[in-house]
Each structure stands twice: as structure tokens, then as C-alpha cells.
Amino acid sequence: MFGRNAVYELLKAHKRTVNKIMISKTARGNTISEIISIAKQKGIAVHSVPPEKLDKFSQQSQGIAAEVSPIVYLDILDLIKKAKQSPKSLLVILDGIEDPHNLGAIIRNCVAFGADGVIIPKWRAVSVNETASKSSAGAIEHIPISKVSNLNQAITLLKDNNFWIAGAENGSQTLGTIDLPFPLAVIIGSEGFGLHDLTKKNCDYLISISQKNTISSLNASCASAVILYELFKIRR
């Protein structure tokens, strides 16, 4: 894992095993000092290394890298059970997001606006990797994520557990004019194609964002921010 905020949030979250941290000899700043302090408290080895050693792994390391255990995906049933502990449960389903930067940004939005979990497909979509983690600024450490083999089977399972399904679809009913019920799962479609046809058919609602017609639509991460903010105002 690379990046100052990503490593900092990793240490704060206490969710994954950190074997060691490598910090460039030229790295400075408050976040670096905080990371070193937390690592010492946890007994994690910190190695001071030449900057070129980190450059071999990533040109965007920001002078720090952590050797960490893989992210643990939560079983879909466990995610549903955990989410339903919230008074107005909200899950976010990602339908074919392929850009790890978008994935990281959307997960960051989910954490910022209080979503209870994220569901991603196992196939034809990006998984949580180092780029997504860095793009989320470490937010992936603070929200449960489930990876499912079949997205539409997961939607059926959500419906069986009394979740309503709302898909983000440009040109549909405008968000804010619909009284969306909870518990709710919102689906964000892929960058180029939006929602898959079968996914769209399985939605109880199709929602869009009110905007001028200067551009066709917002990208997936920007759209998710607007939608999640509007739902945040309803849920708080």
C-alpha cells in the first residue's frame, strides 16, 4: 500500500495486519510523524529507505509504503445484517466500475456521507487494489465491502431482506422529487455504459440528478457524491 493518507488510515482502522512500513529518508511532514508514532505504539517495524527504492514500486508513493495483508471482503449476508443495524440503512452497489481511481473516489464518498457498506461484482469490474486505496485516501479501511459473484442475485437477496433498490440513470425521475424508502441500496453504473440492462430491470426506482443540459452526465464518482449527499440530508 502506498500514500500517506492511505497508510495513516490503515493504521487508525486496526483492521488489517501491517508487517512493516518503509519511509523514504527524505520524507517529512506531520502525517509522516503521526505514522511513525502510531507504528511504534503498535510494534510495527519502520524502515528508513532511499527514495529510489520506493520509486521502483510506485511513482506516487509520497515517500511511504506499507506491507499489509489483503483486504478482507465481508460476506453479503453479514453485510446486510450489519447494515440493518442502522435506522435508515443505505448500501451502495457498483455495477461494473472499471477505473480504480473512480472506485477509490466513490468509496471515499460512501464513507464521507455515511453509507453502511459497498457491494462490488467479482467479474468485469475493478477490485480494491493499491490505486483504489490511495484514491480513497484510506477510506476503504473504514467501510465494509462485499464482493459478489452475481450482482443480480445479490440484489434479489437484498430485496428478500426488505431493501429497496434505486438505480442511478440519467434522464430518470429527479432525486429529491421521490420519497425514497429505507432500507435502501443505490446502484452506481459503470463509467461508459451506466447500468446493465438486467440490473436496471431489477431496480424499484430509477433516479437522476437535476442538472443543466450543457453536458450529458456526470462521471460515476461525481454522481455518487451528489446522490449520497442528498440521501445524507434525508438520513441524518
Provide the residue-wise pLDDT of the chain in tens; the chain has 236 residues.
Answer: 889 999 999 999 988 999 999 999 999 999 999 999 999 999 999 999 998 888 777 778 899 999 999 888 999 999 999 999 999 999 999 998 999 999 999 999 999 999 999 999 998 888 888 889 889 988 999 999 999 999 999 999 999 999 999 999 877 788 888 899 999 999 999 877 889 999 999 999 999 888 776 556 678 999 999 999 999 999 88
Residue type, 214: T
What cell was used for 216? 450529458
Contact 170, 76 (CB under 8 A): no
Asked if residues 36 and 11 have their Cβ atoms less than 8 Å apart, the reply is: no
Say whether 122 sits in a helix, a strand or coil.
Answer: coil
197, amino acid identity? D
* C-alpha closest to that of 174 among 213, 208, 211: 208
User: How many CB atoms are closer than 10 A to CB 225?
Assistant: 18
Q: How far apart are CA 175 and CA 91, in angstroms?
A: 17
| 44: DSSP letter | -
As a whole number of angstroms, the distance between CA 204 and CA 164 comes to 6
The answer, yes or no, to whether the previous bond of 183 is cis (omega within 30 of 0) is yes
Which SS3 state, helix, strand or coil, does residue 162 take? Answer: coil
Quick one: which of 196, 195, 192 has its CA closest to 208? 195
| CB-based contact 158:128 (threshold 8 Å) | no
Largest CA distance in the chain: 56
For the entire predicted model, the pTM comes to 0.89
